[in-house]
């Protein structure tokens, strides 16, 4: 019961942030959230901690929880670093590609497609980011996997807030094309597709959106 309540709070707050109903910088008061969801402050605290792990909110000592304020510049820098790292990762993957590794990536791409088709915004964002982490894990480089997970989480809120459903569907298609090139062991094509894919994701983030609501109860209703 506790886990499902925590999950519900995480899901509701994620959706309110993603759908621009909560403004970056909005204070998330524990007692207000506890009253709204009809749960204890302990459960609210657990949910806020989970959201801070995903970098959707920031926890400030003695001040409380706030919706994260992502920097567009930071996102651009993250994508630049990712393009450098992932070109080399793609080369390594091609050189060590096996049927089992390709199968694992194909299964992941199928999960993405399901999340995109059911318009599961938090789920699809997580899966689309995890595709890149999964590649690093499959080449046996846990340090790279951890680095990519950290980089992806640094712009998770920007991707969540600014990636349209059409762009998410395109990302899924591009992942499928990358896997085809990896399976064909076409290193040059795979590297080019990965670079183009990351450039597309960055280019399709639209930073103009309607003004969110700052009142917590209205935003969550």
pLDDT band, residue 45 (cuts 50/70/90): very high
Q: What is the pLDDT of residue 214?
A: 53
How high is the pLDDT of residue 207?
64
Distances (CA, A) of 181 to 58, 91, 131, 152: 39, 11, 15, 23
- Whether the pTM exceeds 0.85: the reply is no
Boundary-marking domain end, from 37, 69, 101 = 69
Regarding predicted confidence, which is higher, 207 or 152?
Answer: 152
**Does some domain include residue 213?**
no
User: How many domains does the chain fold into?
Assistant: 2
Quote the mean pLDDT of the chain. Answer: 90
Q: Are 28 and 118 found together in one domain?
A: no
Question: Which one is predicted more confidently, 70 or 101?
Answer: 101
Per-residue pLDDT tens over the stretch 102-113: 999 999 999 999
Give me Rg for the CA atoms of the chain: 19
Q: How far, in whole angstroms, is CA 71 from its chain's centroid?
A: 15
**Does position 1 have pLDDT exceeding 60, yes or no?**
no
Question: Mean pLDDT highest for which of 12-21, 53-62, 183-192, 199-208?
Answer: 183-192
**pLDDT of amino acid 17:** 83
**CA-based nearest residue to 2, from 35, 33, 47:** 47
**Host domain of residue 150:** 72-203
37 or 216, which is more confident? 37
**pLDDT for res 111:** 98
Cα 2 from chain centroid?
25
Confidence of residue 166 (pLDDT cuts 50, 70, 90): very high
Same domain, 15 and 96: no
- Write the pLDDT tens digit of every residue in 73-92: 888 899 999 999 999 999 99
Q: Give the model's pLDDT for residue 2.
A: 60
At 169-203, the pLDDT tens digits run 999 999 999 999 999 999 999 999 999 999 999 99
60 phi and psi, to 5 degrees? -115, 125
Q: In whole angstroms, how far apart are CA 112 and each of 49, 109, 123, 160?
A: 26, 5, 8, 15
For the cut 60, the answer to whether the pLDDT of residue 213 exceeds it is: no
Q: Is the pLDDT at 211 greater than 60, yes or no?
A: no
Mean pLDDT comparison of 5-9, 51-55, 119-123, 186-190, highest-scoring range: 186-190
Q: Does residue 220 lie within any of the structural domains?
A: no
Q: Say yes or no: 47 and 100 in one domain.
A: no
- Same-domain pairing of 33 and 142: no
Determine, yes or no, domain membership for 217.
Answer: no
**Is 34 part of a structural domain of the chain?**
yes
Position 108 in a domain: yes
């Amino acid at each position: 019961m506790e886990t499902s309540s925590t999950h519900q709070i995480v899901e509701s707050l994620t959706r309110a942030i993603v759908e621009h109903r909560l403004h970056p910088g909005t204070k998330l008061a524990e007692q207000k959230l506890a009253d709204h969801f009809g749960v204890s402050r302990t459960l609210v605290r657990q949910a806020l901690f989970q959201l801070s792990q995903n970098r959707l909110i920031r926890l400030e000592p003695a001040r409380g929880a706030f919706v994260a304020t992502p920097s567009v510049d930071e996102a651009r820098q993250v994508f630049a670093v990712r393009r450098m790292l992932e070109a080399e990762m793609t080369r390594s993957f091609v050189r060590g590609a096996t049927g089992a590794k390709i199968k694992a990536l194909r299964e992941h791409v199928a999960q993405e497609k399901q999340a995109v088709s059911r318009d599961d915004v938090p789920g699809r964002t997580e899966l689309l980011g995890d595709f890149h982490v999964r590649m690093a894990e499959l080449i046996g480089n846990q340090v790279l996997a951890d680095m990519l997970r950290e980089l992806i989480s640094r712009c998770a809120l920007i991707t969540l807030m600014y990636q349209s459903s059409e762009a998410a569907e395109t990302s899924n298609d591009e992942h499928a094309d990358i896997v085809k090139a990896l399976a064909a062991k076409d290193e040059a094509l795979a590297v080019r597709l990965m670079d183009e894919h990351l450039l597309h994701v960055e280019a399709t983030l639209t930073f103009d959106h309607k003004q969110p609501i700052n009142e917590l109860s209205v935003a969550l209703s």
